[in-house]
Structure 1
């Protein structure tokens, strides 16, 4: 996002009339030399919201809200600073001045955004005019989508046959741009021919914070279609890990955003808007990311994840909880709402009305309650062994939290769960060897004799599981193994691929693979494939097992980066030596011939 020139930002309030700007959003009435209205930021019957012409300021004497024109538009329109300035300036016919020291925006990005707007309009027209539109129209009607809500989300229709190239001029530039936006694909059977990426689908445009279309999602109707829902691929203007479907509409159509409900699908968002619940967004075919949470926390203090109550829903919720722990901060509240089995927001809000659904939202369970109940369900909590394992699992999660006050509150909650004092629990958790020495990991007595899985090489020449003091890559690998055993949830696909490229790191690679394949994997399951290295792995685990908060992921990535650099230097040296050897050999052959 570009930076607005500081002088322009300071001068803008002097160039517009705050009364005019606010009156477009809240009807004002003259009251002496000022203007009054019922406050848009809290419910009231008697007007206490005042706008001063002389001071160009607003103030509510009921709730205390006040400020200048930029602050009002930011709060009322749910916009960021730059977006609010652009909105005010655009509505007043003023050109925004951006900071000249900032690198100018790539001209391709502007071209791509313009193209996506045109494609969005094309899909809207097809929903109205295409001979094949009936199934899309009937589907929308059957799901209870009104014309008003369809217009709000700019729903459209992608016809069954390829149409984009006939709609847009077939220039090399247009073809390249359509391909760059993931709207056009090469026909592998016909050289030089193309086909539309989206065909015979109800189209859901994905908007950025400014309301520009940056991608699409499509719902299929064909019986033989493999994917019911299809999303645009990642492009220069679209990253699914940084965008949320419906966020633009939530900000635009919600009078105030007391919370944001995070649901799983496009239709859930649209259906809830239809029911009058607009504070809702959906992730775009991916699990909730740290970027998503940072965006949401700038919009509201309360984030509520909504999932189906089945096994898959609980698994997705647990993944979201793990991501949230490192992001949670002062003032931020995270809750979880689980729906009855077989229901989703779209179906449930129709069955029981929006009023009842809002009550469900109000009664969503706090993160702490879900955390404890989820882990309790996985252990035999009525036994000493089960409670010990419960303590172990919760303590691992406590280390992810950067917000110390919340970490302390969870520690107190943990003590209450196991009916011990905070000091007792803290003492247990800080004694790193306790769990290893007291069978915490619930390892069978015949553990050493367990069969060795196929991927394990008993004769592998792997020396990294030696004491930490070992020099070179081995100590770095040991460090990474200890961190990974303590925090397996940090492994994502990218980390796994990078770890796979490390030389002589079979154990680390298998641990990373296990952590990615099995969510919330227990320590005993991670080390089970390595019976001959059990004690070494437990030692590495304990050396990195700490209750205090620290940035374990950055430590892991730093060690990984150091190894990668060493390998690159070694490879470069090998190539140089090989080249010199080849050159020397060729010189010798030349002398022999002469």
Structure 2
């Protein structure tokens, strides 16, 4: 996004009349020297919203909102700073002055966006005119999509044949750009030939925050098809981990965004919009990312994740929670809404009224409640052992939180759950990482140990027996790190749990945790938190294989070797402890005699 020249931004309010800009959005009535209206930012019957011509400011004496013309447009139109400045300037015919010191935007990006608009129009026309359109029309009707909502979301149709190619094949630049946008693919059987990426699907344009179309999604009509939903691949103007379907519509058509509901699919967004619930977005075939959370936190103060109530839904919710903890910040509230098993927003809102669904949203679980209840469900909380494990698991998550006030509140909640004081919980957490020295029995203070040579052939043999050093597994751990960086998707909950039990493997354990929490994580993102990035890259390159390779098989083989080694070493330590205990008992007996 370009940067606006600072002088232009500061001078813009002097070039416009705030009354004119606001009156285009909220009908104002002159009262004395000022203008008044019912506040657009909260519900009221008696006008308390005032606009001052003299000060060029607005103020609501009911909800305390106030500011200048740019601030009003940002809040009313749900726009960012640059977007608001461009909107005001556009309405008044003023040319925006951008910062010349900032690198200009690549001209190809504007060309790509213009082409995507033409593709959108092509798909819309196909939904109206294609000989094969009936299957798309019937599918939309069967799913309860009205003509009005189809137009609202600019739905289209990709015909069964390569019609998109036929539409644009006369222009070589268009063909090249369509390939870059992932809408045309090379035909592997015919050199120099292409075919449409989307065929025989209901098409959903994907907008960015400004309303530009940056990608498409397509839904097949055959429920037996393996890939029901298909998204455009990553392109110079589209990254699925940074975009949210429906965000543009939520910002444009929701006057006040007091919450955003995050659902899982296009149809969920459309179905909820159709019944008047417009504050809803969907991720684009990926788990919630940090980028998603940063975007949402700039739009609203309350983020509500909505999932099916089955195991898959709760697993997805747990991943969202883990991604959220490190980035949650002041003023942001995160909640979780679980629907009945087998239901999604699209199906449920058709069975119950929108009022009932809104009640579900209002009763969504706070993050803290979901965190505690989810962990409790995995263990027997009625036992001391269960509560101990509960304490360990929650405390591990608390360490991820950077928002200290929230961390303290969760700490107090944890203390209440296990019926202990805050001081006790803090003491436990502080000592959790401290190695515990275990003695099999207490040695009397006045006991003098006899010479070692009385019991063993040499001091060296005795020292070897009681110390039994654990051999380093660094080479195996380094091998596993390199494999994981190449193929992070191999980490599932079972593998991550096994990795967590490896001794002296903090880096490997943190990498495995990141891979588990964020699907399709990139190499750049997974190594980002570590200061030793170059070392990690070296391990990555050392294990990188250009051809198809079974990284997981080698990883599990190395993991098994470490587990066996630790098991043998633990057995040896136990044997040594027993032998040492016997030796001390023998010494005691010898001294007594």
TM over 0.5: yes
Pick one of 564, 586, 594 that aligns with 2:537.
Answer: 564
Q: Secondary structure at the match of 1:431?
A: helix
For 1:566 and 1:376, how far apart are their aligned partners in 2?
38
| 512 and 368 in structure 1: CA distance in 2 versus 1, 3 angstrom threshold | farther
| 526 and 128 in structure 1: CA distance in 2 versus 1, 3 angstrom threshold | same
| 437 and 396 in structure 1: CA distance in 2 versus 1, 3 angstrom threshold | farther
Taking structure 2 as the reference length, the TM-score comes to 0.79
1:267 alignment partner in structure 2: 267
1:98 alignment partner in structure 2: 98
| 286 and 420 in structure 1: CA distance in 2 versus 1, 3 angstrom threshold | same
1:287 alignment partner in structure 2: 287
For 1:527 and 1:29, how far apart are their aligned partners in 2?
66
1:426-505 superposed matches below 5 A: 426-432=426-432, 466=472, 505=478
Instruction: Report whether the alignment pairs 1:398 with 2:398.
Output: yes
For 2:123 and 2:508, how far apart are their aligned partners in 1?
57
1:134-533 superposed matches below 5 A: 134-222=134-222, 225-432=225-432, 466=472, 505-508=478-481, 517=490, 519=492, 525-526=498-499
Q: CA deviation at 1:111?
A: 0.5
Cα deviations across residues 552-586 of structure 1 (Å, max 9, x unaligned)?
A: 987853224235369989xxxxxxxxxxxxxxxxx
Q: Secondary structure at the match of 2:111?
A: helix
Preserved CA contact (<8 Å) 1:428 1:434: no
| 512 and 391 in structure 1: CA distance in 2 versus 1, 3 angstrom threshold | farther
Taking structure 1 as the reference length, the TM-score comes to 0.78
Q: CA deviation at 1:10?
A: 1.4
Q: CA deviation at 1:6?
A: 0.9
Q: CA deviation at 1:29?
A: 2.1
| 437 and 137 in structure 1: CA distance in 2 versus 1, 3 angstrom threshold | farther
Cα deviations across residues 482-541 of structure 1 (Å, max 9, x unaligned)?
A: xxxxxxxxxxxxxxxxxxxxx98234457779985455559763266xxxxx65569998
For 2:90 and 2:338, how far apart are their aligned partners in 1?
42
Preserved CA contact (<8 Å) 1:184 1:194: yes
| 70 and 423 in structure 1: CA distance in 2 versus 1, 3 angstrom threshold | same
For 1:92 and 1:465, how far apart are their aligned partners in 2?
75
1:8-47 superposed matches below 5 A: 8-47=8-47
For 1:368 and 1:253, how far apart are their aligned partners in 2?
31
For 2:485 and 2:193, how far apart are their aligned partners in 1?
42
Q: Secondary structure at the match of 1:505?
A: helix
Q: CA deviation at 1:195?
A: 0.7
For 1:162 and 1:541, how far apart are their aligned partners in 2?
48
Q: CA deviation at 1:240?
A: 0.5
For 2:363 and 2:8, how far apart are their aligned partners in 1?
46
Q: Which moved more, 1:384-393 or 1:268-277?
A: 384-393
Cα deviations across residues 341-377 of structure 1 (Å, max 9, x unaligned)?
A: 0110011111111100000000000001101111111
Cα deviations across residues 392-428 of structure 1 (Å, max 9, x unaligned)?
A: 1111111110001111111111111111111111111
2:454 alignment partner in structure 1: none
Q: CA deviation at 1:191?
A: 1.6
| 465 and 198 in structure 1: CA distance in 2 versus 1, 3 angstrom threshold | farther
Question: What stretches of structure 2 of length at least 5 have no aligned partner?
Answer: 439-468, 511-524, 543-593
Q: How many residues align?
A: 499
Q: Which moved more, 1:33-42 or 1:503-512?
A: 503-512
Q: Secondary structure at the match of 2:530?
A: helix
2:519 alignment partner in structure 1: none
1:51 alignment partner in structure 2: 51
For 2:403 and 2:44, how far apart are their aligned partners in 1?
36
For 2:437 and 2:214, how far apart are their aligned partners in 1?
55
Preserved CA contact (<8 Å) 2:481 2:540: no
For 2:195 and 2:323, how far apart are their aligned partners in 1?
38
Q: Which moved more, 1:163-172 or 1:244-253?
A: 163-172
Q: CA deviation at 1:51?
A: 1.8
Cα deviations across residues 285-317 of structure 1 (Å, max 9, x unaligned)?
A: 000000000000011110000000001000000
Which stretches of structure 1, 4 residues or more, deviate above 6 A after TM superposition? 434-438, 510-515, 538-542, 552-555, 566-569
For 1:24 and 1:168, how far apart are their aligned partners in 2?
40
Q: Which moved more, 1:144-153 or 1:265-274?
A: 144-153
Preserved CA contact (<8 Å) 1:244 1:282: yes
Preserved CA contact (<8 Å) 1:241 1:292: yes
